[in-house]
């Protein structure tokens, strides 16, 4: 695929560059690639500080001696020139540098201009909508695939729905409800991104409105992701609390792009909580966090409690798990599926981002470009990669 300056992507020095590799999740992703990138995959790590990159390379060489010569690239999120050079040097960029609404756009712009595939870990709806408005058209022209939310936000939900739909009848209205459970904790970077998103409600609504003005209307089909209501779920035996995350938007965009989701598709997502007191307590905690995020002083105080670049210990991550259970209905059939794995925010997120980058770089994929979802860009190829890597996609029951 050619870029505007005529450079063939296959002739670039690298298949994958991991940007933000010295951060907490970035280092975990680098370790995953060190252990799992196949022979012949040309990859490099990128970040702001040379010394930290060199220390990371030493860690990676302990995992895979071949990484002793791993290329290091200095690039800064605040320096568009270095990001342009980075994008032009590789076929795929994977980035962990957030909050993305603050630091992410220059790299998206560079990848869209260079025809370079891009994958990130954002869970920020405002950022995703702004990148669509500002860079989707150019990415379509150059052939770049801009794939947001390639971690726990939103791979299990997007590919889990994709997997569920394959087990339902074709060409009929379909409904899918997802119920999320986990015992995991979070890092400073994740906490900062969440607080940033909570504090930008007006900006998020404005970006969503602007996207609707630019996005083509879906003709002859319908794909929706309404916010559900709190309820007791007989399907899961738990209280179901609606989750206002990025995941439903990603799933609805996959449904709009893929006719297999049927003529009228609806998706809802919930946190599954075993007891009513826990459900009430969780609702109160989210409300309190949202209220505090609106106050700059309180927001800074909260961010200082968990420093960016820090995260849960290996022992804590080893005890962590997640499960997303799906109930799909349509055409007189009901199917129960589940996606599950280990620590969602870090170990499994590193796995998801690493496999997404490998998939974009190395696998035969559908011809797509512009801002696309994991299900649209990678679909079966990524699903099978994640299964082989130990993330479970299974049918629990069907009727």
Structure confidence by residue, pLDDT tens digits, 94-136: 999 988 999 999 999 999 999 999 999 999 999 999 999 999 9
Please write the tens of the pLDDT for every residue from 273-286.
875 545 455 444 44
Residue 47 sits in a domain of what CATH number? 3.40.50.720
pLDDT at 397: 86
Backbone angles phi, psi at 8, to 5 degrees: -75, 130
pLDDT at 200: 76
pLDDT at 184: 77
d(CA 91, CA 104): 18
Q: Which residues contact 237 (CB under 8 A, 6 or more apart)?
A: 274
Averaged over 254-270, what is the pLDDT? 98
Q: Which domain holds residue 159?
A: 155-343+391-398
Are residues 130 and 159 both part of a single domain? no
Averaged over 356-367, what is the pLDDT? 98
pLDDT at 312: 81
Are residues 234 and 358 both part of a single domain? no
Which range, of 143-147, 250-254, 313-317, averages the lowest pLDDT?
Answer: 313-317
Please write the tens of the pLDDT for every residue from 369-383.
999 999 999 999 999
Are residues 87 and 162 both part of a single domain? no
Is 379 within the bounds of a domain? yes
Averaged over 28-57, what is the pLDDT? 97
Pairing label, strands 264-273, 238-242: antiparallel
Are residues 300 and 365 both part of a single domain? no
Return the percentage of the chain with pLDDT > 90, whole number. Answer: 75
Which range, of 58-72, 235-249, 371-385, averages the lowest pLDDT?
Answer: 235-249
pLDDT at 345: 84
Mean pLDDT of the chain: 89
Are residues 170 and 278 both part of a single domain? yes
Count of H helices and E strands in the chain? 16, 15
pLDDT at 1: 41
Are residues 304 and 167 both part of a single domain? yes
Q: Are 42 and 117 in contact (CB under 8 A)?
A: no
DSSP symbols for 184-209: ----HHHHHHHHHHHHTHHHHHHHHH
More confident residue, 287 or 139: 139
Are residues 260 and 353 both part of a single domain? no
pLDDT at 275: 56
Structure tokens at 63: 């995992």
């Amino acid at each position: 695929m050619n870029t505007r300056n005529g450079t063939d992507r296959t002739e670039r020095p690298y298949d994958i560059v991991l940007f933000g590799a010295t951060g907490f999740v970035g280092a975990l992703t680098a370790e995953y690639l060190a252990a799992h990138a196949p022979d012949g995959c040309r990859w490099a790590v990128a970040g702001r500080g040379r010394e930290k990159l060199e220390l990371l390379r030493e860690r990676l060489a302990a995992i895979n001696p071949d990484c002793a010569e791993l290329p290091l690239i200095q690039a800064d999120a605040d320096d568009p020139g270095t990001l342009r050079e980075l994008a032009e040097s590789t076929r795929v960029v994977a980035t962990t540098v957030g909050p993305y609404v603050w630091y992410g756009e220059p790299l998206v712009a560079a990848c869209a201009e260079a025809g370079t595939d891009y994958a990130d870990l954002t869970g920020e709806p405002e950022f995703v909508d702004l990148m669509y408005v500002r860079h989707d058209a150019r990415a379509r022209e150059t052939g770049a695939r801009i794939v947001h939310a390639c971690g726990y936000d939103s791979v299990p939900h997007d590919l889990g729905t994709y997997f569920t739909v394959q087990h339902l009848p074709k060409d009929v209205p379909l409904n899918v409800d997802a119920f999320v459970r986990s015992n995991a904790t979070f890092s400073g970077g994740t906490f900062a991104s969440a607080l940033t998103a909570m504090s930008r409600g007006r900006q998020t609504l404005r970006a969503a409105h602007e996207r609707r003005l630019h996005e083509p209307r879906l003709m002859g089909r319908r794909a929706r992701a309404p916010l559900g209501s709190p309820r007791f779920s007989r399907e899961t035996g738990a209280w179901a609390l609606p989750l206002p995350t990025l995941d439903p938007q990603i799933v609805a965009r996959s449904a709009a792009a893929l006719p297999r989701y049927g003529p009228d598709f609806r998706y809802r997502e919930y946190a599954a909580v075993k007891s009513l007191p826990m459900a009430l307590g969780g609702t109160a905690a989210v409300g309190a966090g949202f209220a505090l995020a609106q106050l700059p002083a309180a927001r800074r105080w909260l961010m200082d409690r968990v420093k960016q670049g820090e995260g849960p210990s290996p022992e804590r991550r080893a005890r962590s798990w997640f499960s997303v259970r799906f109930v799909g209905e349509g055409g007189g059939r009901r199917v129960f599926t589940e996606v599950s794995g280990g620590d969602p925010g870090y170990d499994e997120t590193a796995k998801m981002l690493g496999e997404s980058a490998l998939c974009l770089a190395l696998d035969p994929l559908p011809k797509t470009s512009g801002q696309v979802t994991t299900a649209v860009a990678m679909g079966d190829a990524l699903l099978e990669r994640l299964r082989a890597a130990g993330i479970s996609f299974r049918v629990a029951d069907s009727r």
